[in-house]
Amino acid sequence: MTKCLECGSEIKQTEGRRPRKFCDNKGKCKGAYWLKNKPKEPRYVLKSTLDSVVAKYEGLLSVIPKGNRIDINHLIDAARGRDASGINEDELNLPSQIEKYEAEIRTLGESSLAKRRKLFLEGKIRELKNGKL
């Protein structure tokens, strides 16, 4: 006979079966045990840990020559469709975008998906006309 890991009561073991660790089949002891003993993750970072990571990063950054460093801002601008000046070509061509959306609305049918797409496109046109994009 073994004892339950949670409450300590005796557990009858059946020969030839996997050994039981908890007394009940409903999972009360098992659930309570794992709630008490689950690994706890810290909800914050210690200042000393943060300082060590920052120091390590700055140390690595100082080793890289200035000319070889990657400026990530141009990658972000490229992903947003902006050129080196930070201007998005699509933002300049608002009338053509509005015409493109209106042309798509004219081609949509009467299905429920088409109605939802039409509402979406009408909202986009409204945003463009109001200057929210």
**Overall domain count for the chain:** 2
d(CA 74, CA 85) in angstroms, rounded, equals 10
**Structural domain includes residue 42:** no
Other CB atoms within 10 A of residue 22 CB: 20
What percent of the chain lies above the pLDDT cut of 70? 73
Which letter does DSSP use for residue 88 in this model?
B
**Structural domain includes residue 125:** yes
SS (H, E, C) 28-84: HHHHHHHHHHCCCCCCCCCHHHHHHHHHHHHHHHHHCCHHHCCCCHHHHHHHCCECC
**Structural domain includes residue 70:** no
Non-local CB neighbours of 102 within 8 Å, separated by 6+ positions = 121, 125
Q: Which domain holds residue 112?
A: 89-130
Confidence at 120, pLDDT banded by 50, 70, 90: very high
Phi-psi region of 86 (alpha: psi -120 to 50; beta: other; left: phi over 0): left
For residue range 56-108, list pLDDT tens digits in order. Answer: 887 777 776 666 666 666 666 666 666 666 566 656 667 778 888 899 999 99
**Structural domain includes residue 55:** no
pTM, whole model, 2 decimals?
0.33
Dihedral, 72, 78, 83, 85 alpha carbons, nearest 10: -30
**Structural domain includes residue 30:** yes
pLDDT of 49 above 60: yes
**Structural domain includes residue 10:** yes
